[in-house]
Structure 1
């Protein structure tokens, strides 16, 4: 009683609420500054840049765009007039529509590596996501994966044994399934850049923190998603690369062909594979997946199905947490392997955690905070060289 935040913004897990219009206004009204996080996003398949202002998401360079919103956008991206200089003045005052467009395009096609430079949330562009620089698409045949084919794939080991998969989404962050990862981060190791088990000579990384989605429910396996923060950041080298997160509001059409991968069992209840296996599967609509003959209404908005209703190709035990990856100019993480009835059975396709349903939560966990290192908005931000080249 008295703790409702209906129509307002709740500060973290506290009972303190603020007006929705106070969110992303440049003033920290919450004790830990939660109201000034996740104020910028990429939206839709076209990756349009949007900023939150007055409780409304506004698209950069739209008809109602003005210099005040331009200033707000740059401030939320961590840039001041002093830092950007003359080019910022052009942006703020809308002297050039071409600048506005080019800025949005640059923002849409890069992924950031963050390290806290000031009290602002942003640093410099350092890497692109969703690419496979060490993999040749001319490799054909079989379902044994080649080095560099899925450079975001990781093997999660608990007390030196592979239990689940996961995906590199940033230099310090691994996305996996909540049902995979127990407590005790010190007992986990993340192995990257490998295709064969056991992991002779593969890079093993310690886990600093495990974060579950607050709405995860083990029985229903809804919001079956977790983040593991690494003790030390990864170095991307072609064999280890991050996969892109989808944009807010981005839809992936039914029938889209995507890839699943992992070291899971090759048959229901069978032994795990020593080699990283992969398979191409189509996305299945939630309506088709919820029919009485399939999963009888158990598919929630936070789930997405993929596979073949006739069976034959599927993820299995030990693949949990691994990626459902779809290519759309770049590779995007559409799902995390969650559950299914049996493996590759007729009318029982794989069910995956729908990443777009948890984007806000993902970005909030990875947001750079004062005095910390990690990943921020999960979208591209400019450095001075962007402006120098305009």
Structure 2
């Protein structure tokens, strides 16, 4: 676990007037399935071909997004261990079209913000495995406020649930940072963060860390799953993502990908 997570926890503790946050990958899982899907809907095959599952050697699970033939974008708090098995084109979580194991030497962490790159072997694109486009430089000042986006992953379907086998997606509305700050304060919600409204328990949850938030309009990757309310995924408090437009230069400098 990265040092900045500890710093983040201390910052939250010092701002007791605000809600705490937690990384979805660190939420305790239930020992058996209970209840029903409450925070999303099962994805049809090929709905989100850019979404990959990441099974890290340390035993945890995250999501990621294919942004190029040799690159996956995820969260920095996910990366660790000796390496990761990347599941490509999976709808059933562990029944991928194919997998690649990637050693930790291929991880590139931002170290300041909670975003990371994974260099992967070259993959060819087709209907089940494909990239998602990044926002263009013309979009870098777009806050996407009030727009709708879709998040997909194999995270928990309710607070404390085990990971589902079938890929889940949920449609979410982006909110302004000022609304998000009213819950968490500006030490958590900075210019690198984009937030979504959580209504009727619909949002990201345990295991979704690092996964994509893709705009309905233009199908562009606008967020990387970072945190949910410390009160729980279904508490009705906003969820936070790394704002991809904030990181376009960093992504370009490390991958050569830009629009």
TM range (shorter): 0.7 to 0.9
Q: Distance in 1 between matches of 2:235 and 2:53?
A: 25
Mapped contact 1:155–1:162 kept (Cα < 8 A): no
Mapped contact 2:251–2:257 kept (Cα < 8 A): no
Aligned length: 213
TM-score (norm 2): 0.78
TM-score (norm 1): 0.52
One of 80, 86, 108 as aligned partner of 1:211: 108
Q: Distance in 1 between matches of 2:81 and 2:254?
A: 17
Deviations 1:290-349 (A, max 9, x none): 11xx223321111110123x4521100100000000033x31110000001110212x12
**1:377 Cα deviation after fit:** 3.6
Q: Secondary structure at the match of 2:130?
A: coil
Mapped contact 2:58–2:80 kept (Cα < 8 A): no
**1:162 Cα deviation after fit:** 5.9
Q: How does 1:50-89 map to 2 (within 5 A)?
A: none
Q: Which residue in 2 is equivalent to 1:235?
A: 124
**1:184 Cα deviation after fit:** 2.1
Deviations 1:189-220 (A, max 9, x none): 11110111232x531012250000032xxxxx
Structure 1 residues 276, 344: closer, same or farther in 2, change over 3 A? same
Q: How does 1:239-278 map to 2 (within 5 A)?
A: 239-248=128-137, 249-278=140-169
**1:378 Cα deviation after fit:** 2.6
Q: Which residue in 2 is equivalent to 1:303?
A: 193
Q: Distance in 2 between matches of 1:214 and 1:157?
A: 21
One of 11, 25, 48 as aligned partner of 1:150: 48
Residue 97 of structure 2 corresponds to residue 202 of structure 1: yes
Q: Distance in 1 between matches of 2:178 and 2:58?
A: 40
Q: How does 1:52-201 map to 2 (within 5 A)?
A: 143-159=41-57, 163-185=61-83, 188-199=84-95
Mapped contact 1:160–1:189 kept (Cα < 8 A): no
**1:172 Cα deviation after fit:** 0.4
Mapped contact 1:306–1:351 kept (Cα < 8 A): yes
Q: Which residue in 1 is equivalent to 2:29?
A: none
Mapped contact 1:282–1:306 kept (Cα < 8 A): yes
Mapped contact 1:154–1:190 kept (Cα < 8 A): yes
Q: Secondary structure at the match of 2:41?
A: coil
CA radius of gyration, larger in: 1
Deviations 1:341-385 (A, max 9, x none): 110212x1210011111111111011xxxxxxxxx2433xxxxxx
Q: 5+ unaligned residues in a row in structure 2: which ranges?
A: 1-39
**1:259 Cα deviation after fit:** 0.3
Residue 116 of structure 2 corresponds to residue 226 of structure 1: yes
**1:270 Cα deviation after fit:** 1.7
Q: Secondary structure at the match of 2:252?
A: helix
Higher RCO (C-alpha 8 Å, min separation 6): 2
Q: Which residue in 1 is equivalent to 2:233?
A: 343
Q: Distance in 2 between matches of 1:236 and 1:269?
A: 35
Structure 1 residues 377, 279: closer, same or farther in 2, change over 3 A? closer
Mapped contact 1:260–1:325 kept (Cα < 8 A): yes
Q: Distance in 2 between matches of 1:246 and 1:225?
A: 16
Q: Secondary structure at the match of 2:248?
A: helix
